[in-house]
A and B are shown apart, each in its own frame.
Chain A
Amino acid sequence: MRPSSPRTGPEDDQWRGRGSVRRTSRYVALLLLAVCALVVAACGSSDDDKGASTASGGGSGDKVKISFLTHWAPETVRAFERVTAAYTADHPDVEVEIRAVPFADLLTTLRSQAGGDNGPTMASIYDLWLPELVRDGVLSRAPAANAAEVTKEWPANLAGAASVDGSTYGYPNEVDLYALNYNKALFRAAGIADPPRTWDELIADAKKLTKKDGDRITQQGFGLISSWAAGTVHPFTSLLYSNGGELIADGRAALDSQQAGETFDLVDQLANKEKVSSAQMSTADANTTGPYLENFVSGKTAMIIMANWWESALRAGMRGRFSDIATAPIPVGPSGDAPHSVSYSWLTVVNGKAGEAEQRAAWEFLAYLNSPESGEEGHSAMAALLQSMGILPSRTSDLEAYRGDLSREFLKAYVEELPNAKPFPIVLGGQEFTESLQRNLEALQAGQMSAGDAQERSQADAESVLETAAG
């Protein structure tokens, strides 16, 4: 039979033959079948997973499947997979899966898995997030033996950061703090011998280190990071602590102090009054890299306050010129007595919604991962993973085992300042508090607000966030 309608275009004709009709309907039927089969298979497989986990709870011979959520990069994940392979070789009844998400998605992922069955069994978290996860009841309390180990084997402040109301919720792994990083080549070119020790010296040096093309800054003396909560707030907090101030004291926002006022003024001086810092040269992107890193790497930023963990990014970016980079303690403010960096830690927690057998297997695995048993030469496998990224481990025996590596030039100033560092306050609403302070600091850095207004608004916002979170 010939196509009947003369009005249809050529592309319509080729669809009209009877044969193709029959063929198409057969395709449609096949596709329909395929959809049904796949949907059934997919539903079935997720049911199987659950079936397996409940069965294993009964202690039958089935494997216990546990998973570990982290934000580590692929090469670290691969190294971690070697550790889990070694563990499962000795524990054939356990299977460990590693899930990695970008840092920017980590908290969202943790939060969204909280109500579900398919969330990870273990997760590596930033200590600031702990109180809310405990409040929502999604974390497992550490069994007595694990809790005792954490208390005994870790420095007291880090064990404290892993607990809420006296109960331990996880194993501390990394600890991070801040220091002044500066480019020695640029210092030499500007005729400056030593890094600044006080805020006055910081401003004076930054002025000498800034180059301008008309109004546009082509080399900035000091980088004030923006578009990234911790990157904006932690350096500010380090300066505040080094000026004798606090963010939160006795559960109340303390940004209305004179010390805080001086710190807001310092930011205003750097960004607006002396213009030794360019807002555009120090933005971060969602991956906590971006222009602030690129400009320091390419020698367009002379000084910046950053955490120890960015060493690997600097090495990768600068290659041969990495030796130009040096580290110094945080400059001390007029009301301060000594440098005090802010410090924060990460810990590994266990999902309280996971099955009993999974929780037990997870705590056993974490004990292994963090003990000297899993690594070589007295350090733990966790410490080896962290060190491969240039991150400071936290277990007392790991710090001891890595003493030699930790004395390399870039890290030395950080390690030396560790005892003087003060933790970022861990409170309910901590993340939102950080983000509100970030907003106001960025507005100040962009010249949208005066230092006084930024201080006033930061205090008011902090009060409202902390009040809402507590209520």
Chain B
Amino acid sequence: MTRRVSITRRAALLSFMLIACVITAFPILWMVATAFKSSDEALQTPPVWVPGHPTTDAFSAVNDVIDIPRSFINSLLIAGLTTTGILLTSLLAGYVFAKYRFRGKNALFAVLIGTMFLPPIVTLIPLFRIVTQLGWDASLVGVIVPNLANAFGIFLMRQFIAGVPDELIEAARLDGASELRIVFRIVAPNVLPALAALAMFAFVYHWNSYLWPLTVLQGNEQASPIVISLARLLTYTGSAANTPQVMAGATLAVLPPLILFVILQRFFVNTMSRAGMTG
């Protein structure tokens, strides 16, 4: 059966999608355009849509207010180390939940998965006190360590590792391979797309995470990730004349997760549909 789509319907669909794209992309385009405006243009009413004389003044001014390189390193440390930790802990725990049998397994799994639905604010205050008691307040350690394992990662890994054939694992065991060796040599390579998706998800989430670093770091600028620095930038450039600087800072902050997304998006979409999380 041939699929006939009339020209008019195609045109309607295409223009609908075009409009949707424009509306969706507009805030990001506006942010980038404003970053290249002069402060006079930023103040004009009606607003200037495209900067007449694009200038990078705003970008150089940002670094006078916040330490951009330092913030990027901190964000990379937070997102990178947290993601690595999540990948490792999720892989190990997911393997156990998928391939081991022991008493209480399902109960333990249910308790862990329950924490996936917990709004962070519910535990924020005691968690903050615990971190303080450990002497990790105002430091990156306090931001990173409590997030090194999470229920979503364990759930995702269990779903995918369950699909790795038992025979592969049994064969390796007969060869005398240790369990760690099996996890990293046999299991991990078989679930790499899922690991890539989890990596993207965790990296973006922790790059963007705001409430927890704000609470733990208490104004320690040396350890501030870019999102905290961005709030600081907004504060100290309050007048509307400084909008280009704020937008320049926001543009820089958005780039890393966006680039990572463009690279890894196909894994993410495929993983989502195969994880069985959608029924």
Contact = CB atoms under 8 A, between A and B. Distances in A.
Would A and B touch once assembled, by the CB under 8 A criterion? yes
B238 A99 contact: no
A285 B240 CA distance: 12
Contacts of B138: 113, 116, 118-119
Interface in A95-113: 99-105, 109, 112-113
Contacts of B232: 100-102
Max count, chain A CB within 10 A of own CB: residue among B139, B189, B238: B238
B267 A11 contact: yes
B137 A118 contact: yes
Contacts of B64: 74
A356 interface: no
B171 to A, nearest CB: 14
Contacts of A290: 238
A25 interface: yes
Contact of B219 (A12, A28, A34, A109): A109
Contacts of B129: 115
B214 interface: yes
Interface residues on B, range: 35 or more
Interface string B72-101: 000001000100110010000000000000
Given A9-B270, A38-B77, A74 B139 contact: no
Contacts of A273: none
A103 B235 contact: yes
B221 interface: yes
Given A294-B240, A316-B239, A46 B135 contact: yes
B137 A20 contact: no
Contacts of A28: 88, 184, 188
Contacts of B139: 42, 46, 118
A100 B232 CA distance: 9
A69 interface: yes
B234 interface: yes
B179 to A, nearest CB: 14
B215 interface: yes
B65 A25 contact: no
Interface string A111-129: 0110111111000000000
B211 to A, nearest CB: 12
Contacts of B236: 73-74, 102, 287
A25 B141 CA distance: 26
Contacts of B145: 39
Contacts of B192: 12, 15, 24
Nearest to A285: B238
A112 B218 contact: yes
Contacts of B218: 101, 109, 112-113, 116, 118-119
A258 interface: no
A109 B193 CA distance: 41
Contact of A39 (B141, B219, B266): B141
A42 B84 contact: no
B241 A100 contact: no
B contact face: mostly helix, strand, loop, or mixed:
helix
B137 A116 contact: yes
Contacts of A21: 185, 189
B128 interface: yes
Nearest to B191: A15
Interface in A1-55: 9, 11-12, 15-16, 20-21, 24-25, 28-29, 31-32, 34-35, 38-39, 42-43, 46-47, 50
B137 A113 contact: yes
A239 interface: no
Interface in B78-135: 81, 84-85, 88, 128-129, 132-133, 135
A313 interface: yes
A280 interface: no
Contacts of B135: 46-47, 50, 116-118
Contacts of A118: 135, 137-139, 218, 220
Max count, chain B CB within 10 A of own CB: residue among A42, A69, A99, A288: A42
Contacts of A115: 129, 132-133
B140 interface: yes
Max count, chain A CB within 10 A of own CB: residue among B77, B129, B135, B234: B135
A317 interface: yes
A39 B133 CA distance: 17
Contacts of B157: none
Nearest to B220: A99
Interface string B140-166: 110011000000000000000000000
Interface string A392-406: 000000000000000
A15 B193 contact: yes
Contacts of B270: 9, 11
Contacts of A112: 128, 132, 137, 215, 218
A253 to B, nearest CB: 29
B141 A293 contact: no
A86 interface: no
A289 B238 contact: yes
A317 B239 contact: yes
A89 interface: no
B267 A100 contact: no
B231 interface: yes
Contact of B81 (A38, A101, A288): A38
B136 interface: yes
Nearest to B66: A74
8 contacts: A25-B188, A38-B81, A46-B135, A99-B220, A99-B221, A103-B235, A118-B138, A119-B138
Closest A-B pairs by Cβ, 5 of them: A289-B238, A101-B219, A102-B235, A118-B138, A116-B137
Given A25-B189, A294-B239, 15 more contacts: A12-B192, A15-B189, A46-B141, A69-B219, A99-B220, A100-B221, A100-B232, A112-B132, A116-B135, A118-B218, A286-B235, A289-B238, A289-B239, A316-B241, A317-B241
Interface of B: 64-66, 77, 81, 84-85, 88, 128-129, 132-133, 135-141, 144-145, 184-185, 188-189, 192-193, 214-215, 218-221, 231-232, 234-236, 238-241, 266-267, 270
